[in-house]
Each structure stands twice: as structure tokens, then as C-alpha cells.
Amino acid sequence: AQSVTQLGSHVSVSEGALVLLRCNYSSSVPPYLFWYVQYPNQGLQLLLKYTSAATLVKGINGFEAEFKKSETSFHLTKPSAHMSDAAEYFCAVTGEAGGFKTIFGAGTRLFVKA
Amino acid sequence: EPEVTQTPSHQVTQMGQEVILRCVPISNHLYFYWYRQILGQKVEFLVSFYNNEISEKSEIFDDQFSVERPDGSNFTLKIRSTKLEDSAMYFCASSQEGRKTLYFGPGTRLTVT
């Protein structure tokens, strides 16, 4: 069965600093990987996705993630944090066939300090 | 831009009562899902629905839960006899194809007292 592990339930950075949110996955078939963002009192929205094309994926709001098969990782980065990036970030994997369920990690809350 | 809608935004119910949460997925999508998020916890898969039947369900989705697509637009989640631990945010999602991006609704906050 597929699974996702996000290291760090909380990450705090200063405005303008690098953002790095870690995600490792497990899947018995080539995975599709996603990062979703959740702002307070809102649903989840897609930041970016990896679907077996380019390993470096660019998303909205300046975020990007790199798929590393050898490390089973899909870490999310942004060169310079902005106050508006403060939110909860979820890594997700869709692996096996059937219902094509997407499994989410526990989430990482990003705090951005002025 | 088309979006997934959910009603109500907040539902308060007493333990043991039945609730129905409603969703209108994006019109040309074929896969429908329910997820829930207990306050401060992870987003948990409940059920996926395709071609008018459940394609997969989690251990959480026991006999007290059911889903239905009563017409061409609505997708509902029914909880037959609510428990305190059912209090959570329930998200509906849809996707055009399997393994594609999920589009989430804004959620229904269910409070069981």
C-alpha cells in the first residue's frame, strides 16, 4: 500500500528565507505525487504535481519540487518565503489502481516570520 | 473556472442522528471522493466512487457510512447514526480521470454534540 511521510509537523522560516518541506513516499507502482496547500478555513488546492514526466516540477506561487526515485522523496522548496505562504502543506501520493485513492501525509504547517 | 461545491458549510447534529452531506462535483469529472479531516489532524481517505459504484473504501468507512449519486450532478455522504468522533471537516473531491489532480470543495464542518 502507498504511504507518505512528511518530516516536521511545523516549519518556521523568516520572510525571504528558503522554504524546504520534506516528503518521502512509498508505493509499489510508479507514483503520481502531489503537493496541496490549505489556507485557514479553506479546502485544499493543488500546488504542483509529478506524473512521470520531468523530475523537477514547478508549481504556483514560486514553489517547486524534485522527484528523486532513489531517495523516494518529493521535497517542496521555494527560494524566498513570503508572509502569504503561511499555510498547511500536504504531500500526497496516488499509486495503486482501483479507486485511485490519493493518500495524504500528516501535513506540515509553515510559519513565516517577518 | 468550475469548482466543487459543498453544502452545508457547517452542520451541527446530536449524537445518533443521521446527516447527509452534499457535494456537486465538477461536471465533466468521473471520479468522486470523500475525505475527512479531524481538527488538527491529517486528511483521511474515506471512499472513492466511479461508474455509479464504490471503487474503494477505507477502514473508517464502515456500515454507518454510505454514498450516493442520486442524479447527474450531486454526490452525497450519509452518516446513519452519528458519533462524537465523527466530528470533523468533510471534503468532497472530484477528478477527471484516475490518478489525476483532485479538486476539493471547501468542506462541511460537522459537529456532533
Query: Do B104 and A32 count as a contact with CB atoms less than 8 A apart?
Result: no
Which residues of B are less than 8 Å from A94 in CB distance?
98-99
Query: Which residue reads 528558503 in cell numbers?
Result: A18
Q: Please tell me the distance from the alpha carbon of residue A101 to that of residue B93, in angstroms, as a whole number.
A: 11
Q: Where are the strands (E) in chain B, listed by range?
A: 5-7, 10-13, 19-24, 31-37, 43-50, 53-57, 65-68, 75-79, 88-95, 103-104, 108-112
**Closest Cβ opposite residue B99 in set A32, A104, A106:** A32
Distance CA A35, CA B102 (A): 11
pLDDT (0 to 100) of residue A96: 63
Closest CA to A90 of A12, A36, A11: A36
Q: Which has more pLDDT, A2 or A102?
A: A102
- Note the pLDDT of residue A98: 55
Tell how strand A73-78 and strand A64-68 pair up: antiparallel
Selected for mutation to probe chain B from A9, A44, A49, A57 (highest B CB count within 10 Å) is: A44
pLDDT digits (tens, 9 = 90+) for A9-49: 999 999 999 999 999 998 877 788 999 999 987 889 999 99
Q: What is the pLDDT of residue A31?
A: 83
Interval B23-51 mean pLDDT: 92
pLDDT confidence of residue B70: 87
Report pLDDT for B19. 98
A49 CB neighbours in chain B (<8 A) are 101
Interface of chain A toward chain B, CB-CB under 8 angstroms: 32, 34, 36, 42-46, 49, 51, 90, 94, 97-107
Least Cα separation, residue B16 to chain A (angstroms)? 27
* Number of separate helices (H) and strands (E) present in chain A: 0, 11
Residue B42, pLDDT score: 87
Burial tier of B86 (Cβ tally within 10 Å: 0-12, 13-18, 19+): buried
Interface test with B, best of A41, A102, A103 (most B CBs within 10 A): A102
pLDDT tens profile B40-90: 888 999 999 999 999 989 999 999 999 999 887 899 999 999 999 999 999
- Say if residue B70 is preceded by a cis peptide, omega within 30 of 0: no
